Amino acid sequence: MIASLKRAILHIMDASSGMLVLSDEELDVSDASINTFISKHIEKVYGDAALRKGEFAENSGFKYQMTEYVKNQDLRALSEFTAKRLYEAIAQSDTPDASDLIVCEFNTDEHDILAVLRCENKIGYTHQVTKDEGKVKNQIINHYAILPTTSQKISECAFVDLGDMTVRYKGKTRNIDGEKTDLIADILLECIYDISPRESVNAVRKLAKKVTEENGGDSIETLSKMKEYITENIAEGENKFLETEKVAEKLFDGKPGMREEFKEQLEKAQVPQKVEVNPYVTKKLASNVKLTTDIGVEISFPAEYYTNKDYIEFINNEDGTISIQINNIGEVLNK
């Protein structure tokens, strides 16, 4: 995914100890271990469906610093501005912590991207070898500044396209001066943002289920239809957007009242009419319907089977219970 990691610099922000250590020199990205560490973290988070799209506010200080960077390529100045702004906010929060800040530039799909990665330090363990009176003693000690491993996903980051200044970011809210604040969006970037693709998709699912149940409908059938829509229109095609208008038509076909109520709920939740989806979201949405009964039996089946009695039937019994009948089974496997 990353064509090349072009440059990077690291600063230490230990707000828990009141220490900000700014680096005078950039990292050597020709070093294989450094390059691999940063590149893998970028690859882990760059395609994350939790990333939000943002737009810089007109008076954003970070936007000004970005335009200066494009002109003079001074990564140290840009990264120091970033570190100081984040450090001051973290120090004023109700949970000051320690982290390392990586600011870097990389290239992907012919786009030059500036990345800000806040790597929260973890407490870990390592070994220590000591000698006492000529004897070697191996000990286990705490290490208080462990960087996240490449298998972990960084929870606070930002990516800015150096060509068109488009922003994508992921952040966490914390209490700063008594107010809930997103460290990345509100403090650093100063941007206006949309909800993320993952948040949008989850909102579509939850609101579809809510509207169905409040109107006495079958929520399992509704969610099964949504999975069918994903499979038919996105999972096997080139379409990378979930269009809420078409979803409403699919889920509430023949039910105009419920369809309009669903669309109104989506608008209130500020879900965009076209929701971008990535392979992770598509795979999750197109996966099988999974049901758990109150007697402990779990069942998983393709969404299209729900309305096909050749494979599965849901029978409403007179005593109010439900029976599930599975048909045309050729073989039962014990997994």
**How far apart, in whole angstroms, are the C-alpha atoms of residue 97 and residue 16?**
5
For 180-195, what is the mean pLDDT?
88
Q: What is the pLDDT of residues 59-81, one digit of tens each?
A: 999 999 999 999 999 999 999 99
Residue 282 has pLDDT above 80, yes or no: no
* Residues 201 and 296 occupy one common structural domain: yes
* Residues 311 and 206 occupy one common structural domain: yes
pLDDT at 76: 96
- Across 37-46, 148-157, 275-284, 310-319, least confident range: 275-284
* Residues 170 and 228 occupy one common structural domain: no
* Residues 11 and 150 occupy one common structural domain: yes
Residue 12 has pLDDT above 90, yes or no: yes
pLDDT at 312: 85
pLDDT at 272: 80
For 223-229, what is the mean pLDDT?
79
* Residues 274 and 306 occupy one common structural domain: yes
* Residues 33 and 182 occupy one common structural domain: yes
| Greatest alpha-carbon span in the chain | 87
* Residues 52 and 169 occupy one common structural domain: yes
Q: 254 pLDDT band (50/70/90 cuts)?
A: confident
**How far apart, in whole angstroms, are the C-alpha atoms of residue 170 and residue 157?**
5
137: in domain: no
pLDDT at 280: 58
pLDDT at 90: 93
21: in domain: yes
- Across 100-114, 120-134, 251-265, least confident range: 120-134
End position of a domain, from candidates 193, 225, 256: 193
Strand pairing partners for 53? 168
* Residues 45 and 32 occupy one common structural domain: yes
Strand pairing partners for 215? none
* Residues 165 and 27 occupy one common structural domain: yes
Record the tokens describing residue 246, joined without a space. 């078409």
277: in domain: yes
* Residues 166 and 58 occupy one common structural domain: yes
End position of a domain, from candidates 163, 193, 223: 193
pLDDT at 331: 84
Q: 278 pLDDT band (50/70/90 cuts)?
A: low
Q: What is the pLDDT of residues 228-245, one digit of tens each?
A: 777 777 655 455 777 888
11: in domain: yes
* Residues 114 and 256 occupy one common structural domain: no
Q: How many domains does the chain have?
A: 2
Q: Which domain does 215 fall in, by range? A: 197-326
Q: 131 pLDDT band (50/70/90 cuts)?
A: confident
135: in domain: no
As a whole-number percent, the residues of the chain with pLDDT over 90 amount to 34
pLDDT at 284: 61
174: in domain: yes
Residue 159 has pLDDT above 90, yes or no: yes
333: in domain: no
267: in domain: yes
* Residues 37 and 166 occupy one common structural domain: yes
